[in-house]
A and B are shown apart, each in its own frame.
Chain A
Amino acid sequence: MEETKKIKDLLERYYDGKTSGEEERDLAQFFQQPHDLGELETHRAIFQQSADWQAQTASAALKSKLFQQFEASSKSAQFIHLPRTWIRAAAAVLLCITAFGLGRMSRPTNTGEELVGLQTEVQSLRTMMMMALIDKPRASERIRAVRMVEGLEQPALEAIELLIKAMNEDENINVRLASIEVLFAFKHLPEVQRALLLSLPLQDSPMVQMELLRMLMDAGATLDYGVLQEMLKDEQLDPAIRQQLQQLLKSI
């Protein structure tokens, strides 16, 4: 009863255009419930309509067309920089199409080849899904994106770069932590070790910094004296992190 009253009040403010973003997310969540909502059931369609629209995306064909268009324009304008993000998207699509094509057309002659073909298909698909999800607004979707790379033996370089970007730049701490965890599986790669180290001063959360330090120590990474010293200069540095860093510096 109390919840119904709360929702009714929220709805009244919603129809007045006075609800905050958070309140509207609460309402949307309430109307996602599968059971009959009684007298409130009549409002379900309003939120269903928004949900339907939020799920709409432009076609892959448009994205690919835009990519080609700007790549061509970029070349004609003699730009030096490579269009990394668009190469990323197009590469994923191409990779996927190629993998599917090869998988279907090559008809492998033995189980080994078949298995390799299947693994390639799976890797391409997961990389592509990661690329599609990594910029989504919901943190849970971005965590899903990050987890797509988990378990891959040889993820594409682009996937590693995206993981590093998520670790350094994602606003959500859980996405950053998930990225660190997944990256740790590739600790044998020098660029990953370097990225974990360089990420330390970029993090504002002691929890993430602590996790990074733990990973670096477990990975036996070559620690950079300069980076750690620089961090110690920060007066706002969490005392626990400071202590950990000082211990690390002594061990270098």
Chain B
Amino acid sequence: MNTPHFQQIVLNLTDPLYRYARWQLGQRNEAEDMVQETFLRLWKMRAKLRQYENVEALAFTVLRNLCIDKNRKRKIKWSPLDTAIEKANDLPSPQRRMELQEEVQELEQAAQQLPEQQRTILFMRNIEGYEIKEIAQILGLKINTVEVNLSRARRSLSQTLKRPKPWKKQKK
């Protein structure tokens, strides 16, 4: 693989890989370090990259392993994202905006509790929009396994929203 081709891959994958690393590690700096490390590893093996049918899948696999290693040593240290909710002035009410922010934070915490495989599948589908078949191919899983894990992850998160919220006024 020549340099421009490799650089095109880097250009296309930096943001998705960064999101994945941040999703797995929780911190911007750590996520960026892992992305850099991933590209370094790919760069070192660039002569062999042509043998891989899907370089994107390979990049995700390398990064995933790096994140698993990192998380093995400690718990995820999550820092909040710069979200767009505060700017969404057109939501029904300021109170609803605040509630929504709290709910999203709850979802973030719930997502951290998911098993690693479910977290990865959830990320690939919900955030990057990969098709189930593609996820199965990237992770080396059966389509049915991906669907089952995705369903479990989504239902776990939705359960979080069904719990009573201390900041909400309970209806009498």
Contact = CB atoms under 8 A, between A and B. Distances in A.
Contacts of B148: 17
Contact of B43 (A51, A56, A70): A70
A62 B35 contact: yes
B100 A63 contact: no
A14 interface: yes
Contacts of A53: 19, 23, 81, 123, 126-127
Interface string B10-22: 1110110111001
Contacts of A82: 4
A57 B90 CA distance: 24
Interface in A24-60: 24, 34-36, 41-46, 48-59
A57 B107 contact: no
A55 B161 contact: no
A52 B104 contact: yes
Contact of B18 (A45, A56, A77): A56
Contact of A46 (B3, B92, B158): B158
Nearest to B89: A34
A108 to B, nearest CB: 35
A83 B4 CA distance: 5
B162 A85 contact: no
B83 interface: yes
B64 to A, nearest CB: 17
A49 B108 contact: yes
Contacts, number: 137
A18 interface: yes
Nearest to A137: B129
Interface string B125-158: 1110101100000000000001111110011011
A89 B11 contact: yes
Contact of B91 (A34, A51, A62, A84): A34
Contacts of A57: 15, 18-19
A58 B35 contact: yes
Interface in A1-23: 14-18, 21
Contacts of B131: 21
Interface of B is mostly: helix
A152 to B, nearest CB: 23
A44 B147 CA distance: 22
A84 B4 CA distance: 7
B51 interface: no
Contact of A14 (B2, B36, B81, B154): B154
A57 B82 CA distance: 11
B92 A52 contact: no
Contacts of A15: 151, 154-155, 158
B39 interface: yes
B54 interface: no
19 contacts: A17-B132, A17-B146, A17-B150, A18-B147, A34-B90, A44-B103, A48-B85, A49-B104, A49-B107, A52-B81, A54-B127, A57-B19, A58-B15, A58-B18, A59-B32, A66-B39, A83-B7, A85-B4, A85-B7
Interface of B: 2-4, 6-8, 10-12, 14-15, 17-19, 22-23, 28, 32, 35-36, 39-40, 43, 81, 83-85, 88, 90-92, 96, 100, 103-104, 106-108, 111, 123, 125-127, 129, 131-132, 146-151, 154-155, 157-158, 161-162
Interface of A: 14-18, 21, 24, 34-36, 41-46, 48-59, 62-63, 65-67, 69-70, 73-74, 77, 79, 81-86, 89, 135, 137
